[in-house]
Amino acid sequence: MEFWPETLGGWTSALQGIVVAAGGLWAVHTYSTAQRHKAAEVLLEVERAFREVQQTCDWLTSPNTYKAFYLEPLRKLLRDEPLDEIERERQTEVDGALRFFYFCSVLNTQLSVDLATLEKAYSFYLHEFVNQAERPELRAYVEEWYPRLFAWISKQDPHPSTATASPADGAPPGQ
């Protein structure tokens, strides 16, 4: 019985296979870990960006503030009427908030980033922005000027169990 040459060759081949498989598993693990870290970094950057528009989002979702400061400018925009300086400021605030959420929709769909967390994190605002009963003008504005965002919001569950609590009423600065 010739033990060493055949057996040693077999064991060497088996050992090489095990090493290659272990290396492949390690590579998959390393890649997966790096992707999770990258997703966490992206989410942190998104949250930092949200903080720049959060106050406007709170104002838009507050019935009193919405009616007092945003309703008339939105109506004028939808009727293609000119805005005064203060109304243009309000439009800039609204567009800033909507552009943030548009960016989230691009991250989610075009870049294939699995960030369903974005939908959950901002679901309260997203659904309030297109709430026909409470804010028909804002809904029409989003649908007309941000159709991709409107489609992204419309696909989502309108009553997620992890929705953000409603923000407190506030007023835009200087009001």
pLDDT of residue 156: 72
Q: What is the pLDDT of residue 160?
A: 46
> CB atoms < 10 A from the CB of 48, how many?
9
**pLDDT reading at 163 higher than 60:** no
User: Bigger pLDDT: 82 or 154?
Assistant: 82
**Quick check: 153 and 126 in contact, CB under 8 A?**
yes
The more confidently predicted of residues 72 and 165 is: 72
For residue 164, the model assigns a pLDDT of 43
Model confidence at 55, pLDDT cuts 50, 70, 90, reads very high
Give the separation between CA 114 and CA 66, rounded to whole angstroms: 32
Q: What is the pLDDT of residue 135?
A: 93
Residue 119, phi then psi, degrees to nearest 5: -60, -40
Residues 6+ apart with CB under 8 A from 112: none
Question: Cα(first)–Cα(last) distance of the chain, in Å?
Answer: 97
What digits encode the pLDDT tens for the residues 93-145? Answer: 999 999 999 988 887 766 555 556 677 778 889 889 888 888 999 999 999 99
Instruction: With beta carbons less than 8 A apart as the criterion, state whether 78 and 137 touch.
Output: yes
Residue 169 has pLDDT above 50, yes or no: no
State the chain's mean pLDDT as an integer.
80
Whether the predicted pLDDT of 50 surpasses 50: yes
